[in-house]
Amino acid sequence: MQDVTDLAFMRVIAHYGAPDYFFTEFFRVHSQSRPEKHIVRSIAENTTGRPVFAQLIGEDIHHLNRTVKELLALPVAGIDLNLGCPAPKVYKKNVGGGLLRDPARIDEILGALRAAVPGLLTVKMRLGFEDTAHFDRILELVDRHKVDLLSVHGRTVKEMYRSEVRYECIAHAVTRVRCPVLANGNITSAAKAASVLASTGAAGVMIGRHAIRNPWIFHQCRELLGGGTVTRITLADVRGYVEHLFEATRTDTIPERAHVNKMKKYLNFVGQGVDADGAFLHDMRRTATRAELFAVCDRHLMTAPDREFAVEPYPGVIARPNCETPDGSDGCSLETVTA
């Protein structure tokens, strides 16, 4: 998830139950680009015990190849091409989800990347840009260029995160490509993951923003898919998670108020499971200091610490992330758990 899945966040998620593997934030690739140092750290200093794929966003083949060469010198699990980001500032540059308008260009890029990547090459895509007219053509290219893993978000770029996820289109992709397919979009809980796996036949699920809300979700998926009982999470558990996340993402170079504002990006999602009327979100968004933030957490999370944290987001409690894509996340860079 762009501006989320950094090294600190990956370590926090791994503490509560790591996914099978991570995808980095995307490396922006263009003529003046160099692999961003903070994203490189999430690969080079990875202590989660899970593999990390380096995610690229770009369309210049020369510079994609240059960047791939640099990244393959790091301990990456593979290279991932983003064809899914729906942020207007991204697709207007004809990268991310914008490339779904141009299958011929995708053909060229995948051909070049396949030649440059001796190991695993993966792709994340949406169903199309405005419609699904090119969906089958792009699936054919995924097969032709021997992509090793395909993640499909079941909406178009223009649908952003507003529409229902079309899991039947993900099921169609499963039947059309030879590589494993991961289902992406609104994987809100372990029960939802199991339902989506059953209906799509996908090899696994890719989870983004709901891992911010519930970092136990990967562990819970394994419990349910393994025939066990899903761990119950309490508001006291959530209070511990918030403090862990605050300390893990804090640095001496970030002023207190700036860090509190950064925390709001995460808590916008956490708050969807705290209370049905959005009171936690209302109060949290008005804090400016650490003391104010944790006073709100104590008031809402520790008054009834044994109360269960909602398994699914409360209907109508809306996250307002500080980014153009509510996933910064579901669309741009995610974590996965396989069946």
Q: What is the pLDDT of residues 98-107, one digit of tens each?
A: 999 999 999 9
Q: Across the strands, what pairs with 338?
A: 204
What H or E segment, with its residue span, contains residue 260? helix 256-270
d(CA 281, CA 219) in angstroms, rounded, equals 26
Give the pLDDT mean for 13-40.
97
- Quote the pLDDT of residue 336: 45
- For 191-236, the pLDDT digits (tens) are 999 999 999 999 999 999 999 999 999 999 999 999 999 999 999 9
- Would you say 150 and 181 are in contact if contact means Cβ atoms under 8 Å apart? yes
Helix axes 235-249, 7-17, angle to 10 degrees: 150
For residue 12, the 8-state DSSP code is: H
Asked whether the beta carbons of 125 and 151 are under 8 A apart, the reply is yes
**What pLDDT score was predicted for residue 327?**
38
Cα-based distances in Å from 235 to 9, 18, 19, 311: 20, 21, 23, 12
Over the stretch 131-163, which tens digit does the pLDDT of each residue have?
Answer: 999 999 999 999 999 999 999 999 999 999 889
Residue 284 near residue 296 (C-beta atoms within 8 A) = yes
Contact criterion met (CB below 8 Å) for 92 and 120: no
The answer, yes or no, to whether residue 57 has pLDDT greater than 90, is yes
Residue type, 167: Y
7-219+333-338: which CATH architecture? Alpha-Beta Barrel (3.20)
- Report residue 336 as tokens: 């996965």
Q: Which amino acid is at 63?
A: H
- Angle, alpha carbons 60-63-65 (nearest 5°): 105
- DSSP class of residue 102 equals -
Confidence of residue 320 (pLDDT cuts 50, 70, 90): low
**Amino acid type, 213:** R
Residue numbers annotated as active site: 85
Tokens 């640099």 -> residue: 70
Cα Rg for the chain, rounded, in angstroms? Answer: 19
Q: For residues 34 and 228, what is the distance between their CA atoms, to the nearest angstrom?
A: 45
